Amino acid sequence: MRRLVLCSALFCTGLVALSVASNEPAARGAVPRSGVAINDLDRSVRPQDDFYQFAVGGWIKRVKGPAYMPGWSAGRELQLNVYEALDKDVRDLMKGGRATGNEHKLADIYASYIHVEQIDRLGLTPIAPYLATFDAAKSPADIADAIAMLSAQGLDLGIGTWVHPDDEDPSRYLADFVQSDLGLSERDYYLSDEPRFATIRDAYRGHVTRVLSLSGVADADTLARKVIALETRLAKAQWTPVATRVPGATAHRVSRKALAEAVPGLDMARFAQGIGIPATAEHFNISQPDYFATYGKLLAEVPAPVWRAYLRVRLIDHLARFLPQPYRDEADRFFSGTLYGATASRPRWLRAMGVLEDSMGDALGQLYVQKHVPPEAQARARVVLDNVIASFRQRIAASDWLSDTSKQGALAKLDQLVIRMGAPGHIRDYGRLVTAPDDAVGNWMRARTLLARFEIEKLSRPVDREEWTMSPQSVNGYYSVSRNQVVLPAALLQAPYFQADADDAVNYGGLGFFIAHELSHAFDRAGSQYDGEGKRVEWMTPADRAEFERRAHAIVVQFDDYAVSPGHHLNGELTIGENIADTSGLAIAYDAYQRSLQGHHAPVIEGFTGDQRFYLGFARTWASEPIVTQAAITHALADTHAPDRFRVTGAVSNQDAFHRAYRVKEGDGEFRAPDKRARIW
Distance CA 584, CA 656 (A): 12
Distance CA 240, CA 2 (A): 20
Confidence band of 374 (pLDDT split at 50, 70, 90): confident
**Encoded amino acid at 149, one letter:** M
- Name which of 33-47, 75-89, 91-105 the model is least confident about: 91-105
Distance CA 194, CA 637 (A): 13
Rounded average pLDDT over 328-337: 97
Rounded average pLDDT over 96-109: 88
Question: Is residue 599 predicted with pLDDT exceeding 80?
Answer: yes
Question: Is residue 3 predicted with pLDDT exceeding 80?
Answer: no
CA 651 from chain centre, in angstroms, equals 20
CA 84 to each of CA 88, 103, 226, 418, 625: distance values in angstroms, whole numbers, following the listed order: 7, 17, 43, 31, 21
Question: Is residue 377 predicted with pLDDT exceeding 90?
Answer: no
The CA-CA-CA angle for residues 74, 75, 76, to 5°, reads 95
Q: Which residues pair with 161 in a beta bridge?
A: 177
Which of 38, 83, 31 has the alpha carbon at shortest distance from 372? 83
Which of 672, 674, 677, 669 has the alpha carbon at shortest distance from 47? 669
Rounded average pLDDT over 391-408: 98
Q: How many CB atoms lie within 10 A of CB 125?
A: 9
Distance CA 458, CA 343 (A): 42
Question: Is residue 163 predicted with pLDDT exceeding 70?
Answer: yes
Distance CA 66, CA 347 (A): 10
Question: Is residue 6 predicted with pLDDT exceeding 60?
Answer: no
Name the maximum alpha-carbon separation found in the chain: 83
195: preceding bond cis by omega (within 30 degrees): no
**Encoded amino acid at 498, one letter:** F
Q: How many CB atoms lie within 10 A of CB 419?
A: 17
**Encoded amino acid at 634, one letter:** T
Please report, for the chain, the start and end positions of each structural domain, with discontinuous segments joined by +: 25-84+356-426+466-676, 125-344
Q: What pTM was estimated for this model as a whole?
A: 0.91
Q: Are 617 and 51 in contact (CB under 8 A)?
A: no
Pairing label, strands 485-489, 418-422: parallel
Distance CA 250, CA 325 (A): 42
Q: Domain 125-344, what architecture? A: Orthogonal Bundle (1.10)
Q: Are 4 and 74 in contact (CB under 8 A)?
A: yes
Rounded average pLDDT over 444-455: 98
Is the Cα dihedral 398, 402, 404, 408 positive or negative? negative
Judge whether 25-84+356-426+466-676 and 125-344 match in fold: no
Distance CA 614, CA 636 (A): 27
CA 411 from chain centre, in angstroms, equals 27
Distance CA 595, CA 606 (A): 23
Contacts of residue 557, Cβ cutoff 8 Å, sequence gap at least 6: 572
Distance CA 119, CA 44 (A): 53
Q: What is the CATH number of domain 25-84+356-426+466-676?
A: 3.40.390.10
Distance CA 361, CA 354 (A): 9
Distance CA 140, CA 167 (A): 33
Contacts of residue 632, Cβ cutoff 8 Å, sequence gap at least 6: 70, 71, 341
Per cent of the chain over pLDDT 90 is 92
Q: Which residues pair with 255 in a beta bridge?
A: 283
Distance CA 362, CA 428 (A): 7
Rounded average pLDDT over 332-338: 97
Structural element, H or E, at residue 486: strand 485-489
- Phi and psi at residue 2, in whole multiples of 5°? -70, 160
Confidence band of 30 (pLDDT split at 50, 70, 90): low
Question: Is residue 29 predicted with pLDDT exceeding 60?
Answer: no
| Residue 496 pLDDT | 77
| Residue 11 pLDDT | 21
| Residue 497 pLDDT | 85
Which of 77, 36, 172, 140 has the alpha carbon at shortest distance from 483? 172
State the chain's mean pLDDT as an integer. Answer: 93
Q: How many CB atoms lie within 10 A of CB 70?
A: 21
Distance CA 184, CA 257 (A): 35
How does DSSP classify residue 31? P
How does DSSP classify residue 478? E
Q: Are 465 and 137 in contact (CB under 8 A)?
A: no
Confidence band of 98 (pLDDT split at 50, 70, 90): low
| Residue 429 pLDDT | 96
Which of 603, 604, 602 has the alpha carbon at shortest distance from 593? 602
Q: Which residues pair with 165 in a beta bridge?
A: 173
**What are the DSSP calls for 180-194, one per residue?**
---SSSSTHHHH--S
**What are the DSSP calls for 580-622, one per residue?**
HHHHHHHHHHHHHHHHHHTTPPPPPBTTB-HHHHHHHHHHHTT
Confidence band of 551 (pLDDT split at 50, 70, 90): very high
First to last CA, the chain: 18
**Encoded amino acid at 667, one letter:** G
Distance CA 238, CA 223 (A): 23
Helix pair 304-319, 128-136: axis angle to 10 deg? 160
| Residue 31 pLDDT | 60
Confidence band of 97 (pLDDT split at 50, 70, 90): low
